[in-house]
Amino acid sequence: MPGFPEYHKYDGLGLAELIRKKEVTPGELLDEAIRRIEDHNPRINAVINKLYDQARAAIEAGLPEGPFTGVPMLVKDLIYMLEGVPTSAGNRVLKNYPAPHDSELVRRWRASGVVMLGKTNIPELGLVPFTEPEAFGACRNPWDTTRITGGSSGGSAAAVAARMVPIATGGDGGGSVRGPASACGVFGFKPTRGATPSGPDVGEYWRGFNVDHVLTLSVRDSAAMLDATYGADVGAPYLAPPQKRPFLQEVAAKTGRLRIAFSTKPFLGNLAHPDVEKATQEAAALLGELGHDVVEAAPEINAEEFSLQFLTIVAGEIRAIQETISRKTGRRISLTDYEEATYAVGLFGKMLSAGDYAEAANSLQTMARGIGGFFEDYDVLLTPVLAQPPVHVGSLQPTAAEKSQLRLVGRLNAGWLLNLAGGIKPLADRAFEQIPWLPMFNVTGQPAMSIPLYWTEAGLPVGVQLVGRFAEDATLFRLAGQLERAKPWFDRLPQGFA
C-alpha cells in the first residue's frame, strides 16, 4: 500500500517525530497526503490548487530542521503569497496571476519544516461565512457533504477534518478560523492581534481585524506552530507582547482556578439553535467540574451599531482590495469579474466617505474598550461559535430576487441604490446571524478559539468559543489542553475519510 496508511492516527508533531525516528520519510507522508486528496477531494472540494511537484521539489532540495519537518500542510488561498503560485482569493481573475515572492508568514511556515502541497478553497475575497465561490465551486463538509464548512477558511477546515493533512492555514477577520473549525469539528485558534506577521505586502488587513494562524487536529500542533511564527515582522503596525515561555509548554501546564463567564445569548442577531445552546451549557458544566468558577455573564454590545460600523469597515476594505486588483491586473473594476454580492459590497464601499470610515473605526474602538472592561472581572468568556449546526450548501446564498437586484445595481454602477433600497443590509444581517459571537473579538484583537467538544444527534460537529484577555494566549492554550484531555476529540473521524 502506498504512502503511510496509519497517517490519520497522528497529528503534525506526531508525524514529525516518526520522521526523526526514521520510521517514515517525508516522501512517504507526501504520497499519503496526495493519495487522500485525490481520493477525498472530489467529494468535498477543499483543495483548489494542487502543488504536488513543488512539494516533491522541496523535499528533494532538503527541508529545514523545525518542529514540523516533513509534515504535509495546505495553505488557504487568501492574503499570504507563495512565490510562483497564484493567490486567487476565490476570484476568477486572480487565479491567473502568480505571486512574485513569499509572504513573511509563508517563510516562517517553511522554516518550521512543513511541506506545502496545495491551496484551499475560500469564498470570494473571504467575504462571507460559507465557502461557495463561483470561481471554484462549493466546499462541502466531510461530516455531511450536503452541509457547509463555514468561511472563510472553509477549505482548510474541511481538509483537516477529512484527514488530508493534520494542519492547514487560516485567517480570521470576522470569525474565519473559528467558524469553520466549529462546522468541521477541528481546533481553531485566533491569536492576539499582531502575534503573526502580515508583511511585506500588507500593513494590516481589515483595519487589523484579521490575524493568520492554522487549523489543526490537536491543540499542541496549534501551539507549536504559533511558537514557530510568533512575532512582528519589519514595519509591523502592531507588536504583540513577547511570550513568557513556549506555547507548546502551556498546553500541558496547569490552568489554575479561572473565573469564567458564559452566555448563549447572541451578541448579534437573534438565532441560537438548541444544539449550540446545549453544547455551551455542557462545556460550562465541564469547566465547573474541572474546578473553575463559572458564572453566567456577558459584555453588553449595541448590536445595531456594531453591525453597521463593522459592515462599513468591511465595505471600505473590499473596495480597496478591488482597486488594488484593478491596478495589479490592468482591468477596470467590473461586475463580470466578481460575484454579485462581492461587487455590490465594493460599490457600497465606494459610496462611503473617508469620514464614514473613520467614524466607524472610532466607534468600534470605543466599543472594544467597553468589552475589554468586562475582562477585568473574568479570565475567560465561553460562548457558542456559530448560531446553528452546519446548514445545507446553498442555503445562505442570496436569493434569486436579491441576485437580480444586485446585478441591476452593478450594471448601473449605482451604489447609492444599495443605500436607498437596503440591498446590502439583508445580506449583512444574514451573515451576522450565523456568526453572532465572533466579529467583536476581531475588533478587540483578543485571542479566541473554537474547541470541538460536542456533536449533534445527526453527527454534526458544534464547537464552543473561549475568549481570553488581550495577549493572554497562554491562558487559552492551557485551558484548551485541559479540555482536550478531559474530553478528547482526536479519534472522532467523519465516516469514509480515514
Which residues are identified as catalytic? Answer: 76, 152, 176
Task: Give the phi and the psi of residue 189 in degrees, each rounded to 5.
Answer: -115, 125
Helix %, strand %, coil % of the chain (to 5)? 45, 15, 45
Q: State how far the Cα of 211 lies from the Cα of 228, in Å rounded to an integer.
A: 15
| Half-sphere exposure at residue 79, Cβ-oriented, CA atoms within 13 angstroms | 29
Nearest to 160, CA basis, from 461, 447, 396: 461
Residue 130 in contact with residue 176, Cβ under 8 Å?
no
- The 8-class DSSP code of residue 206 comes to T
Residue 203 in contact with residue 233, Cβ under 8 Å?
no
Residue 383's contacts (CB-CB under 8 Å, 6 or more residues apart) are 262, 263, 264, 267, 280, 298, 437, 464, 465, 467
Nearest to 127, CA basis, from 316, 291, 379, 302: 316
Residue 280's contacts (CB-CB under 8 Å, 6 or more residues apart) are 262, 264, 382, 383, 384, 464
Q: State how far the Cα of 46 lies from the Cα of 34, in Å rounded to an integer.
A: 13
Residue 117's contacts (CB-CB under 8 Å, 6 or more residues apart) are 30, 33, 34, 37, 50, 51, 52, 54, 55, 72, 73, 74, 165
C-alpha cell at 123: 469564498
Q: State how far the Cα of 124 lies from the Cα of 131, in Å rounded to an integer.
A: 8
